[in-house]
Structures are given as structure tokens and as C-alpha cells.
A = this chain, B = another copy of it.
């Protein structure tokens, strides 16, 4: 079991996995090309290879889905990525906006005992620094139901529990605005003109955020 794939194959599997979450189960060549910063022609070549290895279901011109084997491989990479992010933040003191790129490299280290020991060392965390759930060693993901701030109603309240955008510039902004994970918010006004939203943060300070920001912050109701 636990066949080993090349660095590149792993990145394609992960890209397909991320693209196929949220009911979009079938993923297109162009989507993959964009996510992996390659060209469509390169993607087609790789899709043939992954199909040959039974990691994806691929029919010419009809997009791809992951097989069970492919999905397992992808989830395992995601598990590693997120555990390493926890390590970097909790143990080494990195900020949440600094860890993604390093984790992109660490996620390709192949050692089951390493990752399981790391998991234990970190206290088997349920989520990474961005609130994303960490698959357990069997591959199961306990995803909490989260809603974008931009989808909330007036007077609704909840706790910030995730983000859907991981760029350093965005994460730093979120932090500066005091909207980090665990923060409690209450929607006080939905401004029709530009879609911006006013809310009360942790029961006291008032804040207005743009729709663009609101779309990328996830709340547990």
C-alpha cells in the first residue's frame, strides 16, 4: 500500500482534490492548469499518466474525478500540509500568514510514522491555523458547517472559524482588523450600496468590512 508518487503528481492530485470540493465534482483541464501554474497541454499529458495509474477517472474532453485511491492520496497530502502548518505556528512561532509556502514543501515529505508522530506531538489538532479541518490518519475529515460573513443576515451572530483565502496580504488584514479565529461577531448592518457589512466584534468594538473581505471569512453560527 501507500504507493509513492512524484512531487509533481502529488501537486496535481492535490489541485484536483481542492477543485473538486464543493459539489463541483468534475474538474476541467483549464482549472487544473490555472491552479498548478502550467499550461493546458501539460495538464493533458499528466492526466493521461494519472489515469494510467488509476488515480483519476479521465475521459477525453470530459474532465476528471479522483478515484478512491487518488482521493486517499490527496487527502493525505492535505493532512500533512495542515499538520505542518500547525507545527510552524504553534511550535516555531510563525504567524498564520507565513506558513503556507513552507507547508507546500513539507507536505511532500513521505513518512507515515513521521506524520503520525507529529500529529501526536501537536496534540492531534482538529484544525490548522486557518481553521481548515485536519483529516485523521484514516483520512476522515470532520468539517464543521461554516458560512461566509457575506451570507449572514442582520442581527445574526457567530464565531469566526475559518477563511477561504490564504494570501499573506489578506491574512494580515484580517488580523489587523481583529477578526482572527475565535472572535465573536454580531451583524448590525448590511449596507445595500456596496455590500459592505457592519458588525460588533467580541461584544464591544464596531467595525465595517467590505463585501470582498466578508466573502472570505467563515463563521460558525
Contact = CB atoms under 8 A, between A and B. Distances in A.
A43 to B, nearest CB: 23
Interface residues on A, range: 10 to 19
Interface string A116-137: 0110010000000000000000
Contact of A110 (B105, B109, B110): B105
Contact of A91 (B93, B101, B106, B121): B121
Copies of this chain held together in the complex: 2
Interface in A81-125: 88, 91-94, 98, 101-102, 105-106, 109-111, 113-114, 117-118, 121
A113 B111 CA distance: 23
Contacts of A105: 109-111
A118 B106 contact: no
B94 A117 contact: yes
A179 B109 CA distance: 32
Contacts of A117: 92-94
Interface of A: 88, 91-94, 98, 101-102, 105-106, 109-111, 113-114, 117-118, 121
